[in-house]
Structure formats: structure tokens, C-alpha cells
Amino acid sequence: MTTIAHVRTAVRRLAEVSRVEGGAETWAVDGREFLTVTADRGSVELQLPADDADQVLLDIPGSRLLRRGSRTTGVVIPIDAMNGMQANAVIGRSWASRAPDRLTRTPVESGADSDLPRSLGRPATAALHSAGITTLAEVSSRAPAEIAALHGVGPRAVRLLEEALVAAGLAWG
């Protein structure tokens, strides 16, 4: 179980984050809102692409979709339904989905220099590269919890990395 204090700490660690003036405790990156703490309801509202939001529903019991009309805009998650790693991961994904490319761009282009699965997506790949991890061999030297704790790496990315490790004959460190 995590806390509102943990959520606030995780948000403040992200690049170029600012608190939006007004009633609710809302956080933005480059002027784009990505997280609102609803302390009175004990939940957080996170802006996420529909496919990430659907994955959160599977990974965190009690979460529900956040909609604007018929369009999915994110998720609402009870704070006490997440552990610290889940909170870090989903907050990082929300931030990455709203941050400008200059903040999420991978320092090393995927391709010849990297055998990481292309299906990981930009936020997870950027998080791995920022941590100096560009190959499956480097992934295999780490624990899954360490990888999952990186901002931008969610449960889906960990699952894809595990599948790639098995296919390459490697295992977690």
C-alpha cells in the first residue's frame, strides 16, 4: 500500500513538473496536466493513453477508467490499492504520456546498438536508456523490481522484457 506522501514524492522527482494553481492538487509537465490527487476520495487521477489505462485496470484492482464523453483519458486509482512500485510506474507512464519529446526522447536510438524489444514503447525504452540499459544482457543483470521502479517502465514493459529474456536464453539477475 502506498500513501499520498509517496505519490507527491514520486511526482516531484520527475523532470519539469509544476503544481497547477487552483483548488485540486493537480500536477503538470510543460503545462499539460498528468495527475490529480483527490485526497478527500483517497485516489489519484492519471492521464494515460487508452491502452495503458486498460493495462492498469488489469494490474491494479479497484482502478477505473477516467472518461471524457466516450473517450478514455486515463484512470482513477485508489491510493491504497497500489504499492510503491506500482505508483512509481503508473505515475511515470502518465508523466511520459504528457511530457514533450525533448524530455522523453531516448538518448540512444533503438536499432543496431540495442536488442531491446521495439514493442516496449518510447517511455519504457527512454527510462531504460536513461539508466544506461541498452541491451537484454544489461536487463538480465538487474532484478525485475529494479527495472519496474524506473519511471516509464510499467507492468506491460516488464512482461515484454521477461518474454524477450526467455527468447534470448537469459534470465533476470
pTM of structure: 0.64
CA distance 93 to 36: 14
Q: DSSP of 83-147, one letter per residue?
A: -HHHHHHHHHHHHHHHS-HHHH--SS-SSTT--S-GGG-HHHHHHHHHTT--SHHHHHTS-HHHH
**pLDDT tens, residue by residue, 46-57:** 999 998 999 999
Which pLDDT band holds residue 69 (cuts at 50, 70, 90)?
very high
**pLDDT tens, residue by residue, 73-117:** 999 999 999 998 899 889 999 999 999 887 776 554 434 467 888
Work out the mean pLDDT of the chain and round it to a whole number: 88
CA 73 to chain CA centroid, nearest Å = 15
Q: Is the pLDDT of residue 122 over 50?
A: yes
